[in-house]
Amino acid sequence: MKTKPVYKRIVLKLSGEALQGKKPHGIESAVLVSIAAQIKEIRDLNVDVAIVLGGGNILRGQANSNSQGLDMDRSVADYMGMLATVINGLALQNVLEKMQVATRVMTAIEMQRIAEPYIRRRAIRHLEKGRVVIFVAGTGNPYFTTDTAAALRAMEIHADAILKATRVDGVYSADPFKVRDAKKFAKLKYIDVLKKGLKVMDATAVSLCMDNKLPIVIFNLKEAGNIKKVILGERIGTVVN
CATH (domain of 128): 3.40.1160.10
Q: What was the pLDDT predicted at 34?
A: 95
Long-range contacts for 165-168 (Cβ within 8 Å, ≥24 apart)? Answer: 165/12, 165/13, 165/14, 165/15, 165/18, 165/219, 165/220, 165/221, 165/226, 165/227, 166/15, 166/18, 166/218, 166/219, 166/220, 166/221, 167/17, 167/18, 167/220, 167/221, 167/222, 168/220
* pLDDT value of residue 189: 95
Please tell me the predicted confidence (pLDDT) of residue 174: 83
Residue 2 lies in a domain: no
Which structural domain range is residue 147 located in? 9-240
How does pLDDT run along the chain (241 residues), one tens digit per residue? 567 999 999 999 999 988 988 888 899 999 999 999 999 999 999 999 999 999 999 987 656 555 555 678 989 999 999 999 999 999 999 999 999 999 999 999 999 999 999 999 999 999 999 999 999 999 999 999 999 999 999 999 999 999 999 888 888 888 888 888 888 889 999 999 999 888 788 999 999 999 999 999 999 988 889 999 999 999 899 999 9
pLDDT of residue 135: 98
pLDDT reported for residue 71 = 73
How are beta strands 103-107 and 171-172 bridged, if at all? unpaired
Does the pTM of the predicted model rise above 0.95?
A: no
Residue 3 lies in a domain: no
3-state SS assignment for residue 240 = strand
Does any domain span residue 214?
yes
Number of structural domains found in the chain: 1
